């Protein structure tokens, strides 16, 4: 079957099998930040934005994304670069495997709430599995990034 998707700002037309998962389609398109972890929608490693909302690409058929705008971390390099520096500064990227999904969800949070509490941040990141850290580094990095945005006069990541 043929699908049309706007992927990271570029219109893609592709022929896929009906049972192709979105994660597999995205990786075939070179979006390697989208990672396979659990295949059960529990780890957050495969998080992408569909029409500006975070979704888990391991639990969505690529055919269901047809006609939608899909954004991966590759399509958010400008926003992600500064944010990633704050996460790295806190030592929160020990192995780095969870970072793309964690960053996608953190950026989604900051688009919805530019002044989240610690509890808001931890609740929003609850679906992201990180086996290396206790999430404290990510929490500190996000809080430091929010403080930076406020100091620099930037309102949000949109």
- Quote the pLDDT of residue 97: 79
pLDDT at 39 > cutoff 90: no
Domain count within the chain: 2
Mean pLDDT of 46-60: 96
Each residue's pLDDT tens digit, 78-89: 888 888 888 888
Each residue's pLDDT tens digit, 98-152: 788 888 988 999 899 989 999 999 888 888 887 777 778 888 888 998 898 889 8
Nearest CA to 99 among 124, 130, 56, 68? 130
Determine if residue 86 is left, alpha or beta; phi over 0 gives left, psi from -120 to 50 gives alpha, anything else beta.
alpha
Q: Residue 29 belongs to what domain range?
A: 2-74
pLDDT at 48 > cutoff 80: yes
pLDDT at 158 > cutoff 50: no
Q: Decide if 85 is inside a domain.
A: yes
Q: Decide if 56 is inside a domain.
A: yes
Rounded distance between C-alpha atoms, residue 100 and residue 114, angstroms: 20
Rounded distance between C-alpha atoms, residue 126 and residue 116, angstroms: 14
Place of tokens 């070179």: 30
Q: Decide if 26 is inside a domain.
A: yes
Evaluate whether 114 touches 149 at the Cβ level (below 8 Å): yes
Q: Decide if 157 is inside a domain.
A: no
- Quote the pLDDT of residue 155: 56
Q: Which of 23, 45, 74 is the last residue of a domain?
A: 74
Q: Decide if 138 is inside a domain.
A: yes
Q: Which two tokens stand for residue 103?
A: 């960053």
Rounded distance between C-alpha atoms, residue 14 and residue 29, angstroms: 10
Percent of the chain that is helix, strand, coil (3-state, to 5):
45, 15, 40
């Amino acid at each position: 079957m043929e699908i049309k998707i706007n992927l990271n700002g570029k219109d893609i037309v592709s022929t896929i099998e009906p049972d192709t998962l979105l994660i597999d389609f995205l990786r075939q398109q070179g979006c390697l930040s989208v990672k396979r972890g659990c295949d059960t929608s529990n780890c957050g490693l495969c998080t992408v934005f569909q029409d500006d909302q975070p979704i888990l690409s391991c639990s969505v058929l690529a055919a269901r994304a047809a006609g939608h705008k899909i954004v991966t971390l590759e399509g958010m390099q400008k926003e992600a670069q500064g944010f990633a520096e704050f996460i790295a500064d806190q030592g929160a990227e020990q192995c780095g495997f969870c970072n793309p999904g964690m960053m996608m969800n953190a950026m989604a949070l900051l688009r919805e709430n530019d002044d989240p509490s610690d509890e808001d941040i931890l609740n929003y990141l609850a679906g992201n599995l990180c086996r290396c850290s206790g999430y404290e580094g990510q929490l500190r990095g996000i809080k430091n990034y929010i403080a930076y945005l406020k100091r620099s006069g930037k309102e949000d990541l949109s």
